């Protein structure tokens, strides 16, 4: 059984979906969890009650918000051992949309999914260097490797950046005992995915998944808990695919 009882973990985007499953799983393993949310305060409060966690709000679409988030999170216990960068957005915008819509969608998606992640990684690296190490776990996507549909090119691009960021951190800061991993899910059975399946039919999601169903959020959380445990330090820089064999590389 994984024991995280000595660890303080910051999980971004933890009010629902994958983030909520991660927060709950880490807390069950004994971690003290800092739960970040953007807008869903009520849902975040429910998860905080279940995990006995500490809530921190931040709008990561705003430049500079990540640094403030880190400062608030660190102030709770005075230290952070692991950060899980899970918060992300996936608005639609295609080449046929108005230029203003296209530009705004790209800028906001990159800000939340990549720039804020990089900012939090920067804060974590500085903190971990002063504490002889720590762990960064970035939630990427299958789309980082196989791309996505024409309305979600910005999302795929942002997640591709997360992969390169994670690998660069692993190579650059291993000597500081800083570990960096990426987890790349395919379709995960979140409320959003369930809504798509309801609206467009289950085949719209499952048709190219050999296992026949989206990934349960718990499976993603299980991988994150394992990586947070420190049991596989020499896997730093690796990406852990979890997509039901829908994309193999």
Dist. CA 234–CA 128, nearest whole Å: 18
pLDDT at 202: 86
Q: How confident is the model at residue 215 (pLDDT cuts 50, 70, 90)?
A: very high
Respond yes or no: is residue 247 known to be catalytic: no
Mean pLDDT across 34-47: 95
pLDDT at 84: 98
- How far CA 58 is from CA of 74, 101, 163, 204, in Å, comes to 14, 24, 23, 33
Q: CB count, 10 Å around CB of 192? A: 13
**Full-model pTM:** 0.96
pLDDT in tens, 91-100: 999 999 999 9
Q: How far is CA 126 from the centre of its chain?
A: 20
Inter-residue contact 30 to 50 (CB < 8 Å): no
Options 37, 54, 155, 181, the catalytic residue: 155
Mean pLDDT across 179-187: 97
Q: Domains in the chain, ordered, with CATH?
A: 8-188+217-235 (3.40.50.720)
| DSSP per position, 172-224 | HHGGGTEEEEEEEESSB-SHHHHHHHHHH-THHHHTT-TTSSPBPHHHHHHHH
């Amino acid at each position: 059984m994984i024991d995280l009882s000595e660890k303080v973990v910051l999980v971004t985007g933890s009010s629902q979906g994958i983030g909520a499953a991660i927060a709950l799983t880490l807390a069950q393993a004994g971690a003290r969890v800092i739960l970040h949310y953007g807008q869903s305060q009520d849902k975040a409060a429910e998860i905080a009650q279940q995990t006995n966690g500490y809530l921190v709000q931040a709008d990561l679409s705003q430049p500079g918000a990540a640094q403030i988030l880190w400062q608030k999170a660190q102030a709770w216990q005075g230290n952070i051992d692991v950060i899980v960068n899970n918060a992300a957005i996936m608005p639609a915008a295609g080449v046929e949309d108005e230029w203003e819509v296209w530009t705004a969608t790209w800028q906001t998606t990159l800000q939340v999914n990549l720039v804020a992640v990089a900012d939090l990684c920067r804060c974590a690296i500085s903190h971990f260097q002063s504490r002889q190490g720590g762990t960064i776990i970035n939630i990427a996507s299958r789309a980082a490797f196989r791309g996505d549909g024409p309305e979600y090119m910005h999302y795929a691009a942002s997640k591709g950046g997360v992969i390169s960021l994670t690998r660069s951190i692993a190579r650059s800061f291993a000597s500081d005992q800083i570990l960096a991993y990426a987890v790349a899910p395919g379709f995960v059975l979140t409320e959003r995915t369930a809504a798509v399946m309801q609206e467009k039919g289950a085949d719209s999601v499952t048709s190219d998944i050999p296992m026949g169903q989206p990934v349960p959020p718990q499976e993603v959380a299980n991988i994150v808990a394992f990586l947070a445990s420190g049991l596989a330090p020499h896997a730093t820089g690796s990406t852990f695919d979890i997509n039901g064999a829908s994309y193999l590389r």
